[in-house]
Amino acid sequence: MILHGQTVTGRQQQPWLVFLHGFSGDHREWQTVGETLTDFPRLYLDLPGHGGSAETAVTSFVEMDACLRATLTRYNIPHYWLVGYSLGARVAMYHACQYPTGLQGVVVEGGHPGLTDDAARTERQLSDAHWAARFRQQPLDEVFDAWYRQPVFASLDASQRAALVALRRQNNGASLAAMLEATSLACQPDLRAALHALPFSVHYLYGEFDSKFCALATQVTRHCHAIPAAGHNAHRENPVGVAAVLARILRLEIKDTL
């Protein structure tokens, strides 16, 4: 299976930047940030069940990773960095921990490294099953209004929440539900130890108002970056700040080729 994506050219000798959006987003989600990184060739992907990949479905992280690998091969991407938000960050971390050839580094924003006990997994599985049922059965504007009232999105004001609901209601509820279940945090392994053992850098971005993921960041890596004036969706709420941090990371990590 090949994911739908949009490519933008850059300097030939640079590694690709492969952008992975969050749940219910699409390939456009990272473009405002990516457009500032003109030295680098960029691939913006639609994850299964989303955007141009709405008819593509996976049933596990293993299948998701195989789909990502096939897509990178299809786009002839030999050397790359992954940049992922939330669900996309979890996909990126899982992929990195499989030691794929060609991956040079990872930048994650608001991504959970994995639950650590069975009770938490059971609770999350029940929660995601509940949300999946709502996505399949109820109008999406109602579901997303409730979705963005969860504690992790507490920094959103009413106008920000309404804008996200209007944007996300264009999705297919059944496709979203299938992806939510396939890549539930309940199904994801705890990646902490594997992430710390990787031979390349992992950088973690989090919004300064996102206390939950601020606490998780140091469990993933020592390379942690707070984004000012932002909550969980930092690259949407402060794209200039996220772009500046990304540019700084890439200058430091790829200094020999810039």
3-class DSSP assignment, residue 7: strand
Q: What is the pLDDT of residue 258?
A: 41
> Which one of 178, 204, 227 terminates a domain?
178
Residues 205, 165 share a domain: no
Q: Which two tokens stand for residue 236?
A: 């949407």
Residues 112, 123 share a domain: no
183 domain-assigned = no
> Which one of 178, 201, 227 terminates a domain?
178
Four-CA torsion 44, 155, 106, 64, nearest 10 degrees? -60
163 domain-assigned = yes
Q: Which two tokens stand for residue 132?
A: 């999946």
CA distances from 46 to 6, 58, 102 (A): 9, 13, 21
Q: Which two tokens stand for residue 138?
A: 């109820």
Domain harbouring 23, CATH code: 3.40.50.1820
245 domain-assigned = yes
Residues 99, 20 share a domain: yes
3-class DSSP assignment, residue 39: coil
Q: What is the pLDDT of residue 257?
A: 40
Residues 26, 99 share a domain: yes
154 domain-assigned = yes
Residues 71, 145 share a domain: no
Residues 61, 11 share a domain: yes
Can you tell me the distance from the alpha carbon of 1 to that of 26, in angstroms, rounded to the nearest whole number?
Answer: 17
Residues 41, 60 share a domain: yes
Residues 112, 13 share a domain: yes
Q: What is the pLDDT of residue 255?
A: 66
Q: What is the Cβ-side half-sphere exposure of residue 86, based on CA atoms within 13 angstroms? A: 20
Can you tell me the distance from the alpha carbon of 158 to that of 59, in angstroms, rounded to the nearest whole number?
Answer: 35
Residues 31, 131 share a domain: no
* Per-residue pLDDT tens digits for 204-220: 999 999 999 999 999 99
Q: What is the pLDDT of residue 254?
A: 87
16 domain-assigned = yes
Residues 230, 131 share a domain: no
State the Cα angle at 86 between 31 and 11, rounded to 5°. 35
Residues 98, 16 share a domain: yes
* Per-residue pLDDT tens digits for 123-142: 999 999 999 999 999 999 99
21 domain-assigned = yes
Residues 145, 91 share a domain: no
Burial class of residue 222 (count of CB atoms within 10 Å of its CB; 0-12, 13-18, 19+): exposed
258 domain-assigned = no
Write out residues in the chain with pLDDT < 50, as ranges.
256-258
Q: Which two tokens stand for residue 14?
A: 């640079």
Residues whose CB is less than 8 angstroms from the CB of residue 74 and which lie 6 or more positions away in sequence, other chains included:
2
Which residue range forms the structural domain that includes residue 25?
5-116+188-253
Residues whose CB is less than 8 angstroms from the CB of residue 13 and which lie 6 or more positions away in sequence, other chains included:
257
User: How many distinct structural domains can be found in the chain?
Assistant: 2
